[in-house]
Amino acid sequence: MKKTVLLFVAVVMMLGSRADEGMWIPMLIGKNYDEMQRLGLRLSEEDLYNINHSSLKDAILQFGGGCTAEMISDNGLLLTNHHCGYDAIANLSTVERNLLDNGFWAHNLKEELPAQGVTALFLVSMEDITKKVKEAVGNAKGEDFSKKLEAYAKGVEEAAAEKGKYVANVRSYFNGNQFFLIIYKRYTDVRLVGTPPKSLGKFGGDTDNWMWPRHTSDFSMFRVYADENNNPKPYSVSNVPYHPKKFLPVSIAGEKEGDFAMIFGYPGRTNRYETSYGVDLAVNVVNPSIVACRDLRLAIMRRHMDARKETYLQLTSSYSRIANYWKYYIGQTEQLKRLDVVNKKRKSEDAFSGWEREHNLDNGLLANFGKIYADYTPYAKHAIYYSEGFRASGIARMAVTLKPLYEAYERYATAKKAMSQDTLDKYINNAKMAYRANLKEFDPGTEKEMLAEMTELYYNNVPKDQLPDIYAKVILKNKKDIGKKTYADYAAFVFAHTFLADSNKFNAFCKAPSFAKLKADAGVGYGMSFATNYSKNYQPKIESFNVKKADLAREYLRQILEQKKGKLMSPDANSTMRISYGKVQSYDPQDGVHYKYFTTLDGLMAKYKPGSDEFDAPKELVDLYKAKDYGRYADADGTLHTCFITNNDITGGNSGSPVMNADGELTGAAFDGNWEAMSGDIAFDKKYKRTIVCDIRYILFLIDKMGHADNLIKEMDIRE
């Protein structure tokens, strides 16, 4: 009897340790409520999402368009990740006042710094409009479906926006089988309040990225400002801190194995209903191509960033973004292979086909998937090398901004007509805007090398019959020995014969533009050759594939929903607010290895390497560690926890998401996933999936003891 009881307990514990798959729509979270309660939640459904009264959803915002943040005071103070605020922090930094490397803390409102371009998007309401959308699009397919959906959505969004008072989006779920109208308020006056030094905010660098154990203090703090009526208003000295409908209290009680954990946020994209054909293409073509392009791009950037501090500050944000997903695609490919996802998908598809036949629905759906992928595969590599290789060059991107003007000149020349000044001004103004956007991260030394190396990489990897004509006509013309010098010489030639590399020359062209000047420019010629080749010969094939795939995916998922009717199913992430729930949970990554659910400052100091680019730490932290001066933020045994893990389901876009306990109190900020589960955007792994969280006690310790920002500590509702 005793053995039976022990076996039962072991089975329950094993089941309880598995991650719960699903990023759930807040409006519909009632369907999951019983399970959340079983796991330990002590809040009501209305506490989570309520359209008429304040609820947790009102404390969560989309930060900067690609991350999540949470309100942590009644005075507009928000918490997000360091890497989410990275671009704003870098833009506010100079060589003389390097906030990125040295950290920054505002000790009063006057010291807070405007973060230009950063937005805060708050959810107002969600409405299921599936029936209305389906009535509007009818039985349309392909481009007709897209056009009808776009036209309907545009009208609905314009009406719901109330002349700019709100931001309204019609969003698709389950590959076009469900639709919601989502309304937001957007605030644009957002100011930097605090950030730890980069050595802590990115502690571990690329080496530790996507890895556990982790010791990174990946957080930064901003404040949202509003007008006197709490409404959005562009930056003004007269603006006042925003007062949210809800903000999160902070718990410093600490986490224990098995504690309930809940995450709200804006997860970016998952593709878990992808077919075996799509996964196979990702593993064998798409992901390796992205990694190859980014590997080279990062190496070039790193050389120039290491050489000049100005270049480092100019490129560091871009470098960080590129590096993050460079490693992501390496890890995703490795785990998709390890989990044998292609074959598992095929078995699932065989079962689906059997269900289709049983219900007289078999219309060759999966066979059609196979056909469109077979037709697209010869061009898949070209598509990646165009976006990740050719467009890695600043000269290439700048040249492409002039393509509409170039083609307009061609049309008018063919028609033997003169372009009107108004039309010319329109093209020039658009080109100026695009050029300025690219100029921000344009370092001539880096870009000259980038142009040479990426041109060579493109030639060596894209099928020879798909290459643009500039290789045969210019770059390799009359060349017997083709090597790195060939491409370096060509890049030098382009830079010596283009107005794109010099803003003064570009502005001079814009003042007196002509078709002759465009045709004579080496940089424009380079970009036009690649871009025209792509747009005429390959973009139509790629767009045709995407349209056909969307139709098939919509029908495929419609049938899967029918097949699994009555079962709770979570839609793929699509950058809209979601809830996930689970537990604080350790795991065993491989035989004989156990990972605890938390890390400590002791572990950080064991990694500490003075002067290291990835594992350095400021003297202030080292001194606090030696003195064990942790204040009230230490655990019961006197250690200071730095990070912890849960088995929640998250993805990109959840960066900065609040991790909350059973009472809805903030316990940490989610910032990463673990290496063993990097297949998660395509194939969720219940055994290994973990969310890496910066412990709120470590965050508060750094604010209090290192930043001496008592004003911020006093502003929060901290509960012991």
Active site residues: 83, 218, 655
Give Cα 636 distance to the centre of its chain.
36
In degrees rounded to 5, what are phi and psi of residue 247? -135, 160
**Measured distance CA(469)–CA(489) in Å, rounded:** 18
Length of the chain, please? 720
Closest by CA to 643, choosing from 215, 202, 198, is: 215
The secondary structure of residue 693, as a DSSP letter, is E
Position 415: which residue type? A
Cα gap 616→624, rounded to integer Å: 15
> Do residues 560 and 274 lie in contact, with contact meaning Cβ atoms separated by under 8 Å?
no
Distance of CA 124 to the CA centre of its chain: 23
Cβ neighbours, 10 Å, residue 636? 6
Rg (CA), the chain: 27
Residue 291: strand pairing partners: none
Question: Cα–Cα distance between 704 and 716 in angstroms, integer?
Answer: 12
Q: Quick one: 157 exposed, middle or buried, by C-beta within 10 A (0-12, 13-18, 19+)?
A: middle
Instruction: Give 619-626's long-range contacts (Cβ < 8 A, gap of 24+).
Output: 620/706, 621/200, 621/702, 621/706, 624/705, 624/706, 625/601
Close Cβ partners of 428 (under 8 Å, ≥ 6 residues apart):
405, 510, 513
Cα 581 to Cα 598: distance, rounded to the nearest angstrom? 18
Q: Among all chains, which residue has been given the structure tokens 């989570």?
A: 48
Helix (H, G, I), strand (E, B), or coil: what is residue 654? Answer: coil
What one-character-per-residue DSSP string does 308-346 give?
-HHHHHHHHHHHHHHHHHHHHHHHHHHHHHHTTHHHHHH
Question: How far is residue 296 from each of residues 96, 117, 594, measured CA to CA in Å?
Answer: 31, 29, 35
Phi, psi torsion values for 193, nearest 5 degrees:
-110, -40
Whether the Cβ atoms of residue 116 and residue 91 lie closer than 8 Å to each other: yes
DSSP secondary-structure letter at 537?
A: H
Dist CA 24 CA 438 (whole Å): 37
Residues 62, 65: Cα–Cα separation, whole Å? 6
Helix 421-439 and helix 403-414, axial crossing angle in degrees, nearest 10: 160
